[in-house]
Amino acid sequence: MHELSIALSMIEQIEDEAEKHGGRIVEVVYVRIGELSGVDSQALRFAYQMASEGTSLASSRLEIEPVQLLVFCPQCNSTYKTDPQHIFCSQCLTPEQEILEGRELEVRALELAA
Ligand SMILES: [Zn+2]
């Protein structure tokens, strides 16, 4: 399962970060997942729960923020949100958009216990 390896490396990264803050307990993990990242948020939530069991993150929860696809069309010089099924420009129909957002898979912030 692809999400499990993502969850494992995420946990590693979060534990490192918590360590830097004096090993405080992590309560909430804020994650951004782009529509084009290929990651299923339900599957990731499940994998995270499984993978964090027995670690210092066992009691933490994931807050997942979906990131809509944001593209830039160099032809029209415009930036707009779209969905992965309509990646070509609605104005000039060029498929050569630059993807600005929508591929991310990142831990954006942690909420640590006081
Ligand atoms: Zn265009």
pLDDT of residue 83: 84
Contacts of 41 (CB under 8 A, 6+ apart): 33, 64, 66
51 phi, psi to nearest 5 deg:
-75, -25
pLDDT of residue 113: 92
Pairing status of strand 78-82 against strand 105-112: unpaired
In angstroms, what is the span from residue 24 Cα to ligand 1's centroid? 48
In contact, 48 and 42? CB cutoff 8 Å = no
Ion ligand 1 contact residues with beta carbon within 5 A? 73, 75-76, 89, 91-92
In angstroms, what is the span from residue 108 Cα to ligand 1's centroid? 31
Give the pLDDT confidence of 49-103 residue by residue, as tens digits. 999 999 999 999 999 999 999 999 999 999 999 888 877 887 898 888 899 999 9
In angstroms, what is the span from residue 5 Cα to ligand 1's centroid? 37
Give the pLDDT confidence of 23-47 residue by residue, as tens digits. 999 999 999 999 999 999 999 999 9
60 phi, psi to nearest 5 deg:
-80, 160
**pTM, 2 dp:** 0.84
In angstroms, what is the span from residue 46 Cα to ligand 1's centroid? 39
